[in-house]
Amino acid sequence: DIQMTQSPSSLSASVGDRVTITCQASQDISNYLNWYRQKPGKAPELLINDALSLQTGVPSRFSGSGSGTDFTFTINSLQPEDLATYYCQQYDNLPPTFGGGTKVEIK
Amino acid sequence: QVQLVESGGGVVQPGRSLRLSCAASGFSFSDYGMHWVRQAPGQGLEWVAIIWYDDSKRYYVDSVKGRFTISRDNSKNKLYLQMNSLRAEDTAVYYCGRDPGSGEGLIDHWGQGILVTVSS
C-alpha cells in the first residue's frame, strides 16, 4: 500500500496568514492526489482533485501543487471558517490511502 | 443535488453482525462507483471498500477482508456494507461516498456518516 505522510499534524495561525501543508507519497503517484477538508463534527468534503484542480465553489484562497511524491496545499489569507482538519489522499493505486491529517486552528 | 444518507448503525456486541445502508439521490447512481470510508473516534480517515458502478469489481482494505462485504442495488439506488465478526477496532463513524469515475478512488460527495459502536 502507498503511505501518505502529511505534515504538520497541527498548526495554529492568525487570520490573514498563509498556511502550507505538505504531503509526501511513499512512491510516485503522478498527480493522483486529492485534498479534503473536514470541519468539526461534519463529513469530509473534497476541495482539490488531481493535485491542483479546485472544486466548483471552493474559494480561490485554496490551492494545491506538486506531482510525483511531493505535494503542497496552501490557504492564502486564512479565514475563521477554515478551522478544520485537512487530509491528503492518493488514488493512484488501490487501496486509496489518506494522510494522517492536519488540524488547523485559528489563533 | 447529490445526497447520500447512511443508516443502520448502532451498538453491537463483538462477534456480531450489522448491515449499513446508503440511500443515494440526485444523480444516476448506476453510473458511479461507490465507497465506504470510516473514522474511529478522534482518529483520521480510513478507506474501507469500493464497488465499481456495474458491480464488476470490489476491493477492501486488508483489515476487513473476509469479514465485510460491499454491495449495491442499482434498481433501488442503494449501497450496502455487510459487517460480520465485528471487533472493537471496527468502532467508527462510517461514511459512504460517491466516486465520479467508475471506481477510481476519488470521492466527490460524502454522506453525513453513521456511528457503529462495537462493545459488550
The answer to whether B46 touches B116, Cβ cutoff 8 Å, is: no
- pLDDT tens for residues B24-43? 999 999 999 999 999 999 99
Query: Distance (Å, rounded) from C-alpha B24 to C-alpha B102?
Result: 16
Q: Could you give the count of Cα atoms lying within 13 Å of B103 in the half-sphere of its Cβ?
A: 19
- CA B2-B81-B31 angle, to 5 degrees, is 40
pLDDT tens digit at each of 107 positions of chain A: 999 999 999 999 999 999 999 999 999 999 999 999 999 999 999 999 999 999 999 999 999 999 999 999 999 999 999 999 999 999 999 999 999 999 999 99
Decide if pLDDT at B105 tops 90.
Answer: no
- pLDDT tens for residues B58-96? 999 999 999 999 999 999 999 999 999 999 999 999 999
- Contact call for B104 and A91, based on CB within 8 A: yes
- pLDDT tens for residues A51-82? 999 999 999 999 999 999 999 999 999 999 99
Please report the pLDDT score of residue B104 as a whole number: 81
The answer to whether B120 touches B105, Cβ cutoff 8 Å, is: no
CB-nearest partner of B44 from A42, A55, A100: A100
CB-nearest partner of B107 from A32, A46, A85: A46
- Contact call for A98 and B45, based on CB within 8 A: yes
Instruction: Give the best residue of B52, B106, B115 to mutate against chain A (max A CB count within 10 A).
Output: B106
Q: Distance (Å) from the C-alpha of residue B14 to the closest C-alpha of chain A?
A: 26
Decide if pLDDT at B102 tops 80.
Answer: no
Query: Distance (Å, rounded) from C-alpha B120 to C-alpha B118?
Result: 7
Chain A hits for B61, CB-CB cut-off 8 Å, are 95
Peptide bond preceding B14: is omega within 30 degrees of 0, i.e. cis?
A: no
**Is B47 touching A (CB cutoff 8 A)?**
yes
Of the pLDDT bands very low, low, confident and very high (cuts 50, 70, 90), residue B103 is confident
